[in-house]
Amino acid sequence: MTDLPHAHPPHDAGGRFDGPVQREEHDAAHWEKEADAIRMLLSDGRRRLFTTDESRRVQEQLDAATYWAMPYYERWILAFSSLVVEKGLLPEATLLAEEARLRTEGLDRVEGEPAGAHHHDHDHDHDDHPYQADHDATEDTLSPLRLRGVAVRNLLLAKGVLTAAEIRAEIERMDARGPHNGAALVTRAWTDADFAARLAEDAVAAAAELGLDAAGTKLAALFNTPARHHLVVCTLCSCYPRSILGRPPAWYKSRAYRARAVRDPRGILAEFGTTLPPGTELRVHDSNAELRYLVVPARPAGTEGWDASRLANLVTRDSMIGVTLARSP
């Protein structure tokens, strides 16, 4: 397979690059969760200030070097800060003035112990936010885009577009989502053939049976079998069944994974320690803003008679993306 023409925008990574997948992970820092929450709230059904496509447009206009050098959530800050100015919600001069105020008052500094619960002491209206150690824990000054994110947040709170309680609730809502929800679907499908059929037919409705809200996007369940294995990627961005599995891992959003999952899927599996039996068909599914996928891994042999809680321990996030199999008993 040859590389795509250079005219393709930088986010269109499928098949374009090689390199190992860097699988190191860190818990999302508060500023990342907050950027996530603000973006979701501004585009929710009540506000509808912009669409996913508009958010992508801002990011896709970046040149390749800038796009790939910019941290994932900083790209989100770039998108929503640009769009609130573009749509006249916040004048650019007002945004620049707030950034200048933050710098003047020293609020562009990262203070305290990286892993501690330091709280900034200032009198404008927002929640305390401990700085959480992660990949940028050694930084002592907010990057320009992280500072812009703080400025946008402050101004949106002041205008009443968002409230601190809404941002906190959105963060908590996403924090509560995770692979345990997907594992509940998988184990129910393993033990209830009728439910498995309903999950295959309408995954959103099947999730609702277990009290899981997957509405808002189409969710498809992909069932692995001894003859067929499914692998999920998003070559254009980071589309992922967040409503079921929570936030995607860093490697899922990486250029290497997004490119090689369609170009060298068996090589990707090998990096995760997965070797399929000879003759197994491998299907790669490219997620998008409208359609997300959940892989239902094959039930391991030797688990007959196990209850749901015991089976759930065999189901991992990575097996529901398709880069690994379910754990062996």
Identified catalytic residue from 43, 55, 81, 238: 238
From 234, 243, 254, 287, the catalytic residue: 234
- The first and second tokens of residue 266, run together, are 């068996």
Active-site residue, 234 included:
yes
Q: Which of 43, 55, 82, 239 is catalytic?
A: 239
Instruction: Dihedral sign for Cα 170, 53, 146, 48, please.
Output: negative
Rounded distance, CA 206 to CA 183, Å?
13
55 labelled catalytic:
no
- Exactly one of 237, 254, 287, 319 is catalytic; name it: 237
Determine whether 43 is an active site residue: no
DSSP 219: E
Helix (H, G, I), strand (E, B) or coil at 285: strand
Q: Is the distance from CB of 108 to CB of 67 less than 8 angstroms?
A: no
Strands 291-296 and 218-223: parallel
Q: Is residue 254 among the annotated active site residues?
A: no
Distance (Å) of CA 218 to CA 101, 178, 222, 230, 239: 43, 18, 13, 18, 12
In single-letter form, the type of residue at position 116 comes to G
Q: What is the CA radius of gyration of the chain?
A: 21
Q: Which residues are annotated as catalytic?
A: 234, 237-239
